[in-house]
Amino acid sequence: MTSEWGEKSTADLMSRYVSKEMGYNVPKEGWRICLAHEFKEKRKPFQAKDVSLSNIWGHIGLGVRYLKFWYKKTQVEKKAPFIDMFGAQPLRQIYGAPLGGIGGGTITRGWRGEFCRWQLNPGMYHYKTVIPNQFTVCLRREGKTVYQQVLSVERPPTLQGWNWGYCGEYAFYHALYPRAWTVYDLPGQNVTLTCRQISPVIPHDYQDSSLPVAVLVWDIENKNEYDLDVSIMFTMVNGSGQKDDKCGGHWNEPFHLEKEGEAVSGVLLHHCTAVNPYTLCIAARDQSDREISHQTAFSPKGPCFSLWNDLIDDGRLDSPTGSSPPTVKGEKVAAAVAVGCSVPAQGHNSLEFCLAWDMPKMTFGSQEKEHTRRYTRYFGTKGDASPSLSHYALTHYKQWERSIEEWQRPILQDSSLPSWYKSALFNELYFVADGGTVWTEMTEDVDISGGIRSEDGGLPAQPAVIKEYGRFAYLEGQEYRMYNTYDVHFYSSFALIMLWPKLALSVQYDIAGSVVQQDLTERLYLMSGQYSPVKTKNVVPHDIGDPDDEPWVRVNAYLIHDTAGWKDLNLKFVLQVYRDFHLTQDRQYLQDMWPICQAVMESELKFDLDGDGLIENSGYADQTYDGWIVTGPSAYCGGMWVASLCVMCKMARLLDSEESYRHYKDLLDRGSAAFEKLLWNGKYYNYDSSGRELSNSVMSDQCAGHWFLRASGLGDGEFQAFPKEKIQSALKSVFDLNVMSFAGGQMGAVNGMRPEGVPDHSSVQSDEVWIGVVYGLAATMIHEGMQEEGMRTAEGCYRTVWEKLGMAFQTPEAYCEKNIYRSLAYMRPLSIWAMQLALNTSQKDQTTTAQTGVTD
């Protein structure tokens, strides 16, 4: 199932690697790239200037209003807008797997080894490569240093007393999240180093997965006929490359912690800012045949000969006692830890480092409330946990790796699955941790439904799942700064419900609590230019807030549209409720959500304008495709309405509510008949039923409602909403036109395609490829027995993003066939886990068929 063009693009990433060394226990599957690789294609981000003249003419009012909003936000309030159409991040083709667990912040290392993307303040990213943050190797033979090298291909203008410029042709990077490997074949030394980084991102683990730590293990292979002494030095700046690194008052101190027969030593870097202070920790594991040394503080400016010579003299650092003085304003300070060991001729040894950071309490941008991170349940809130965190990580990482391998092994060993899919499935999971993610404890004063109890159609003040597992939020994208954007979470939620189901349910309870509340404060919406309430009752919010404000307290940071009129958000809530119940069998959850589902479905009925049981659109399509004009019933929202009626029937049956069943069954029968009559054209479902010139465009996402039915174990028999033969015909049309007739069939599925085989250019979004939508489409194909087509469809996106455009670990929301991409590091591509659910379901169905001999 791997294409020839795909195999070539994979090989291209390693074409400049000249060594034959393949590292120490580096797995076969994953994303692999030579450190000397250069991506040929350089794309630019979509910005306001890229809107076509025809679209500008139709959105002049929006443009003027956005410009005023942008000016006030950036120039008056001195803050970043939730979406910056004038300051999109340029493409840096450098990122690798992030360090850290879920919800405690992340630090991303690039695939060339640099520390280059930071999210320690919740939800707020900055993109700064901190040059002094490096690993350096020192080789000694018979008491003399024979080789000392910074393991970086960079040649920076600073720290010129260090030996930079490692030859990238002798190294490669390999990622299989949450682990990654970098292999260095030291030129002329007959020594191979393999750095393995491990982050505790472990399915169904709600303790260690929350830890803000990463372990870096260096495996050293000595291919010589003589012994070597090898030291690795880890250097780190106190800070993250921001202005506050120079604000003064930061200080470092060495530490040694011994408990339970295990010891660790290192340096604590106390970053003493007024808001969200934290401590970084670089540490190593003490063992009898290892020597740990440190330099508490050094200045990371100038040539820095002293630190370099300190290591080169004897392979160790001076290890002064006591703390460093606080920095004065304008100064930076850094620290170093070195570990040495002997490696016998033709032998192997290893060194273990840990990077941890401790910001137990945090505030968002408004600084109104203090939030406590999840990991503090196990390590306390005092801000003194870094030594214990590093000790725990260094003594438990082998257990983490066993759990990770046990989870990944069945998929990696499945020979029926192509290699690109295995890489995509695990590496796209980076966003669960690196999506500006926060995971907090629920404080006693929180009432998620604003005082509206279950008997009044609300919820318990503190549902058990949130009380036990905390509150979870992740951004729509690193550049689209809104937490838990619900129309996108609809796609990405598959990763959570399959791997951390308690977090998925926690998000659902938070959203449900917001549904029953209202905020009638009027504000200006940029698309319409009209004032409307922030949030009306019985409507699902677009998002739970901006991290630069106060999430959970003020929802709907999205100022473009008034979400009260959108059809898809409520429907997506209903569909997710039943899917989540189907996968968890949590009956209390189903009972709690049932009245909320009833309320939002009744609020949708106002859009059934002619009483035929099918809701209609007017103006923009929905909250997902909000740049695409639609009139009348549409394939996307109409299909989800019909699917939602189907799951309401199923839930009513499960809860023995016969009256509700009859109500929704009547709507389903009438609505599905109207849907088929108005939208089916003999081959696929028209984009909408308006009869406009472009109403018969082929929408790649037209079967989204049916996809969720299949993912929920429905779609057949009593709970069938769409004729099977029509769904398969529609999917075949999408594959033939949106996939194979677009970009040579090598870039996934374009959102909109004309029946004559050219992209629909009627809106900003119609001629884009949305990677997360494509993965959902592929899952739908797999559910319908079209596995080969589904894999081919998804492969185009993976190859484009990870192998052609250099967007590893920053998969965007969208790209066009040429030149443009939009919104790097986006939530929706987590939907690739829907493909795995479809594969799992397909395998179960095949097993059942083989056992019973029963087929459709």
Average pLDDT over residues 646-671: 97
Has residue 11 got a pLDDT over 80? Answer: yes
Spatial contact of 414 and 188, defined as CB atoms under 8 Å apart: no
pLDDT, tens digit, 9 for 90 and up, residues 322-342: 999 999 999 999 999 999 999
Average pLDDT over residues 118-141: 97
Has residue 456 got a pLDDT over 80? Answer: yes
Spatial contact of 284 and 266, defined as CB atoms under 8 Å apart: yes
* Gap between the Cα atoms of 14 and 22, Å rounded: 12
pLDDT, tens digit, 9 for 90 and up, residues 529-579: 889 999 999 999 999 999 999 999 999 888 887 766 566 899 999 999 999
pLDDT score at 558: 86
pLDDT, tens digit, 9 for 90 and up, residues 216-236: 999 999 999 999 999 999 999
Q: For residue 639, how many C-alpha atoms fall within 13 Å in the half-sphere facing its CB?
A: 27
What percent of the chain has a predicted confidence (pLDDT) above 70?
95
Provide Rg for the chain, Cα atoms: 27
Using a CB cutoff of 8 Å and minimum separation of 24, what contacts does 751-755 make? Answer: 751/625, 751/628, 751/699, 751/700, 751/701, 752/628, 752/687, 752/697, 752/698, 752/699, 752/700, 753/697, 753/698, 753/700, 754/694, 754/697, 754/698, 755/696, 755/697, 755/698
Dihedrals phi, psi of 104, to nearest 5 degrees: -110, 15
What band does 528 get if pLDDT is binned at 50, 70 and 90?
Answer: confident
Tokens of 52: 């076509």
Average pLDDT over residues 605-613: 84
Q: Which of 353-367, 687-701, 796-810 has the lowest mean pLDDT?
A: 687-701
pLDDT score at 309: 98
What percent of the chain has a predicted confidence (pLDDT) above 90?
86
pLDDT score at 308: 98
Q: Which of 93-102, 630-639, 723-732, 760-769 has the lowest mean pLDDT?
A: 630-639
Whole-number mean pLDDT of the chain? Answer: 94
Please count the helices (runs of H) and the strands (runs of E) in the chain.
Answer: 20, 31
pLDDT, tens digit, 9 for 90 and up, residues 460-499: 999 999 999 999 999 999 999 999 999 999 999 999 999 9
Buried b (16+ CB within 10 A) or exposed e, 709-726: bbbbebbeeebbbbeeeb
pLDDT score at 845: 74
pLDDT score at 565: 57
pLDDT score at 621: 47
pLDDT, tens digit, 9 for 90 and up, residues 715-756: 999 999 999 999 999 999 999 999 999 999 999 999 999 999
Average pLDDT over residues 508-520: 95
Strand pairing category for 171-176 and 179-186: antiparallel
Average pLDDT over residues 56-83: 88
Ranges of H-type helices in 349-500: 376-379, 386-412, 419-427, 430-434, 464-469, 486-499
What band does 77 get if pLDDT is binned at 50, 70 and 90?
Answer: very high
Has residue 846 got a pLDDT over 80? Answer: no
- pTM, two decimal places: 0.96
What band does 67 get if pLDDT is binned at 50, 70 and 90?
Answer: very high
DSSP 685-725: B-SBSS--TTTT-EETTTTHHHHHHHHTT-SSGGG--S-HH
Q: What is the 3-state secondary structure (H, E, C) of 236-248?
A: EECCCCCHHHHCC
Q: Which of 238-242, 373-377, 622-626, 670-674 has the lowest mean pLDDT?
A: 622-626
| Residue appearing with tokens 């030996």 | 163
pLDDT score at 620: 47
Spatial contact of 623 and 563, defined as CB atoms under 8 Å apart: yes
- Strand, helix or coil for residue 144: strand
Has residue 404 got a pLDDT over 50? Answer: yes
pLDDT score at 564: 62
Burial group, residue 15, by CB count within 10 angstroms (0-12, 13-18, 19+) = exposed
